[in-house]
Amino acid sequence: MLTTNARRIRQMGARRVAGWAGIVCAALLVTACSPGSATAAPASNPASASLAAKTAARVYLAEGQDIRGRLLYRPACTSGCPLSGDSTAILAKMTWRTWSASKAVGTGTYELDGCNPNCAAGPVYKVPAVVTLSHPVKVCSAAGTRWVWTKASFRFPHGLPKALRGSNAPLNPWVFSSVISAAKHSCAS
């Protein structure tokens, strides 16, 4: 009887060890397939946002849509964060109420160059805005793998100035196609 109980205890212990080993293996697989792994494909669709939400700890804003430049995490943009490569669209004084792996929502000022008569001489309009960043994509580099936003949507609580309406209205939503393309090429090899 004592040997039967000892045998049962050993079997239960072996099952527990096997169960924990399974959990550890699953954790290792998740870690190996996380954003730190350079073998995963770039993300650029709704399913990728879901993947990023499950695996990415941080998603960044590529300043000026340059994935090789400064990548900003939850930036206040006190001195301005260029969204465009030519600095005609800049986020300023941002407060982010949400910054997750699938979207970021913040309020601040969207500084837009009127480009009239040209962008160098045009007035800059400082428009209060609610900004939503979404659709993260994976960027691969020698420094590691990062997730970067590829879409910005804007809501203007007080409307847009007359000069920025109609055909002069800013892109909304704005898809950062250069970021998507560069990210795809960065993870291709």
pTM of the complete model: 0.71
Could you state, in chain order, the average pLDDT of each consecutive group of 10 residues for the chain (189 residues)? 43 44 37 35 50 66 96 96 95 98 97 91 96 97 93 98 93 97 90
Which residues, including other chains, have CB under 8 Å from residue 141's CB and lie 6 or more apart?
Answer: 67, 68, 186
- Who's near 74: CB < 8 A, 6+ residues apart? 96, 99, 104
What does the pLDDT read at residue 117?
87
In the structure encoding, which two tokens stand for residue 9, read together?
């205890």
**Can you give the pLDDT at residue 47?**
58
